[in-house]
Amino acid sequence: MVMRKLSALFTLSILCATVFLWTGCRDNPAGTSGDDGTVTMQAEMTGNTVYSAATKGSVPLSGGSIVDSIHVRSIRILISDLKLHRDREDTVTGDRVVKTGPVVIQVDSSGAKTFAIAPIPAGTYDRVKFEFHRLTPPEIALVQNDTLFADFASSDHSSIVMDVVLYINGMAVPYTYRTDIAGNIQYWLDPPVQIGAGSNTTISLVIDPVLIFRGHGHAFVLDPRDHGNKSDCDDGIKVAIRVRKCSCG
């Protein structure tokens, strides 16, 4: 009789524990807590065509080749170590990881696209930080069958790929611009974003192609096929990205 009672109590305890764990997992998804908010990272282009702003008789600032205009079909950027940085006035300091990566930021004319969603501890954040990334050989082996990373798994180790159409004297010339720039970069959130417990916040990266192909004060549209324009285009990529915040409750 005693053994039967003990067996029944043990079974009841297991049942209660199972119900508790199931309820807890349902109310608090893995990786989140009651003090977390959800952050969604998106990206979009400001426009998809870059026109010349040069006046008649103007001379290009550099010796690089120019085109009449560029239509940008898509921009893909490979990043890693995506983080939000705590505002210095927050009582808790340090970065909070959104995504370790690698992750691909994609933009085209169809509108904003989500590239990361993560739980983030409640607090005030003033910067978005990430790294332009080149896939390492072990990473290439892991993603070689993933079409999302196909353009970054080639031997040239690209970190940014842009599909464009160049217009020269009325002729359309499709072209893919690739670059292997790397390095850490950060963008300020102004004003800082406040993430509350249980809140949903969207942070958008906005990419302006004009600053890529007409950066450094160029009125002319740089021809990305000309290696002499590469440094200007690559520098333009870094300043072409801005951060826009949209708090959604």
174-219 pLDDT, tens per residue?
999 999 999 899 999 888 899 999 999 999 999 999 999 997 777 8
Same domain for 20 and 124, yes or no, is no
Quick one: pLDDT at residue 26?
31
Q: In whole angstroms, what is the distance from residue 222 CA to residue 212 CA?
A: 9
Residue partners of 9: CB distance under 8 A and separation at least 6: none
- How big is the chain, counted in residues? 249
- For residue range 14-29, list pLDDT tens digits in order: 334 333 333 333 333 3
Quick one: pLDDT at residue 101?
74
Q: Can you give the residue range of the structural domain that contains 184?
A: 35-247
Q: In whole angstroms, what is the distance from residue 154 CA to residue 144 CA?
A: 9
- For residue range 31-47, list pLDDT tens digits in order: 445 689 999 999 999 99
For the segment 55-75, the average pLDDT, to the nearest whole number, is 80
Same domain for 17 and 52, yes or no, is no
Same domain for 5 and 94, yes or no, is no
Same domain for 141 and 100, yes or no, is yes
Same domain for 59 and 132, yes or no, is yes
> How many independent structural domains does the chain possess?
2
Alpha carbon 69 to its chain centroid, in Å, reads 26
Quick check: 185 and 133 in contact, CB under 8 A?
Answer: no
Same domain for 211 and 167, yes or no, is yes
Same domain for 102 and 206, yes or no, is yes
Same domain for 100 and 147, yes or no, is yes
Q: In whole angstroms, what is the distance from residue 223 CA to residue 230 CA?
A: 9
Same domain for 105 and 21, yes or no, is no
Residue written as tokens 């959130």? Answer: 189
Q: In whole angstroms, what is the distance from residue 105 CA to residue 128 CA?
A: 14
Cα-only R_g, the chain: 24
Same domain for 26 and 70, yes or no, is no
Same domain for 123 and 155, yes or no, is yes
